[in-house]
């Protein structure tokens, strides 16, 4: 049993923290919007008054936050995690952020005397609920190995990628590709529909072809047929990831023209008011409705 602190109870964080509690860990929780702690408190979690309060009351602090800005605030803002001594404590950031953000957070945690691991996840709301996420770790390998059993309370696979920043890079590669696949599928399929092809046939043939992709199988029917965009992965976060992927390319001196175009389409969809819908609603950036 580990005394875990969990900060960020959004779509992913709440489900991940619930799995930690169900596997017998004690949880102290904090969320910017306080009402979101109620469900977990009913299941045995105790609530904290600030990120610093979480850190004081936990041995391992996990963060699952929207973006780099949120992560930097929760660690280094007023009442932040790194404002108290983190000696003998470990912080794990599981948010999707830039490698640079991970390195800054690692430095803040080290400055407060603690250890840090980055651990972004693959998988959305259902794998988070089922405890079947794939978790990528970056940082000290021995620390990652020590934390593996705890991480496996939230996931079914842990892959160590290398030093701090390596897991953040790997996570961005996956989302960069998934966002791009959905966009090109959207514009190709809309062209097919306009030409009179049937949605089911388009999906059936794509999925039987070399262009098949699990994300098309998962999201395609809702994108073309039912046009249901129930939020599993918010579009605003996909836009954030495209921006981070372009920045990562810039930082490495690698051109990312395809991702830059995809970023624009996500931005259009968000400007049209679909930012809180699932990222498959990017197709609405093309149709406008
Ligand atoms: P979400 O539902 O939007 O939750 C975001 C969390 O961050 C909430 O707890 C939110 O607090 C908090 N937050 C946002 N801005 C903040 C700020 N400035 N200061 C303090 N707290 C702040 O997002 P999610 O879907 O759980 O995703 C969390 C992270 O995991 C993101 O980095 C995302 O890219 C990544 N991810 C998501 C999925 C997915 O399928 N959903 C899959 C893999 C990875 P409030 O409740 O107060 O807004």
245 lines ligand 1 (CB under 6 A): no
Cα of 200 vs centre of ligand 1, distance in Å, is 33
| Predicted confidence (pLDDT) per residue in 233-244, tens digit | 999 999 999 999
Bridge partners of 61?
5, 91
Beta strand spans in the chain (E): 3-7, 26-30, 46-47, 60-63, 90-93, 115-118, 121-122, 133-138, 155-162
Helix or strand or coil: residue 118? strand
Which residue bears the tokens 């098309």? 216
Q: Which residues pair with 162 in a beta bridge?
A: 138
**Which residue lies with its CA nearest to atom 11 of ligand 1?**
32
> What is the secondary structure of 30-85 as a DSSP string?
E-SSGGGGHHHHTTT-EE-SSHHHHHHT-SEEEE--SSHHHHHHHHHSTT-GGGS-
Instruction: Report the interhelical angle of 257-269 vs 166-194 (nearest 10°).
Output: 70
Residue 228 pLDDT class (50, 70, 90 cuts): confident
Tell me the mean pLDDT in the region 84-92.
98
Q: Per the structure block, which two tokens stand in for 263?
A: 């970023």
CA dist 131 and 154 (Å) reads 4
Distance CA(254)–CA(78), nearest Å, equals 37
State in Å: Cα 207 to ligand 1 middle: 31
Q: DSSP assignment, residue 277?
A: S
- CB of 70 shorter than 6 A to ligand 1: yes
Nearest Cα to 80, choosing from 54, 113, 110? 54
What number is the average pLDDT over the span 96-112? 98
Average pLDDT over residues 119-147: 98
Task: Share the mean pLDDT of the chain.
Answer: 97
Q: Average pLDDT in the 102-113 region?
A: 98
pLDDT in tens, 49-80: 999 999 999 999 999 999 999 999 999 999 99
- Which of 30, 65, 69 has most ligand 1 atoms within 8 Å of CB, for mutation? 65
Closest CA to 248 of 182, 140, 159, 174: 174
Q: Read off the pLDDT of residues 24-56 as tens digits, 9 standing for 90 and up.
A: 999 999 999 999 999 999 999 999 999 999 999
CA 9 / ligand 1 centre spacing (Å): 7
Whether 171 is catalytic is yes
Cβ–Cβ < 8 Å for 240, 279: no
């Amino acid at each position: 049993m580990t005394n875990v602190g969990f900060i960020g109870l959004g779509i992913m964080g709440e489900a991940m923290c619930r799995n930690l509690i169900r596997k017998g860990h004690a949880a102290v929780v904090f969320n910017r919007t306080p009402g979101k702690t109620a469900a977990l408190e009913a299941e045995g979690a105790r609530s904290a008054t600030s990120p610093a309060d979480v850190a004081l009351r936990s041995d391992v602090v996990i963060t699952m936050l929207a973006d780099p800005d949120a992560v930097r605030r929760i660690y280094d803002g007023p009442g932040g995690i790194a404002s108290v001594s983190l000696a003998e404590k470990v912080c794990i950031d599981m948010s999707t952020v830039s490698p640079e953000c991970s390195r800054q957070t690692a430095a803040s945690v080290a400055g407060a005397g603690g250890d840090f691991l980055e651990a972004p996840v693959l998988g959305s709301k259902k794998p988070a609920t089922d405890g079947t996420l794939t978790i990528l770790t970056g940082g000290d390998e021995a620390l990652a190995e020590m934390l593996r059993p705890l991480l496996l309370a939230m996931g079914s696979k842990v892959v160590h990628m290398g030093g701090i920043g390596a897991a953040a890079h790997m996570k961005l590669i996956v989302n960069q590709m998934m966002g791009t696949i959905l966009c090109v599928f959207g514009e190709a399929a809309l062209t097919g529909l306009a030409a009179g092809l049937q949605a089911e046939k388009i999906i059936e043939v794509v999925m039987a072809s070399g262009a098949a992709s699990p994300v098309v199988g998962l999201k395609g029917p809702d994108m073309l047929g039912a046009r249901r965009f129930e939020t599993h992965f918010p579009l605003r976060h996909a836009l954030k990831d495209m921006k981070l992927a372009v920045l990562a390319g810039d930082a490495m001196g690698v051109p990312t023209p395809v991702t830059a175009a995809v970023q624009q389409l996500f931005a259009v969809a968000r400007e049209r008011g679909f930012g809180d819908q699932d990222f498959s609603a990017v197709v609405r950036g093309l149709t406008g409705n």
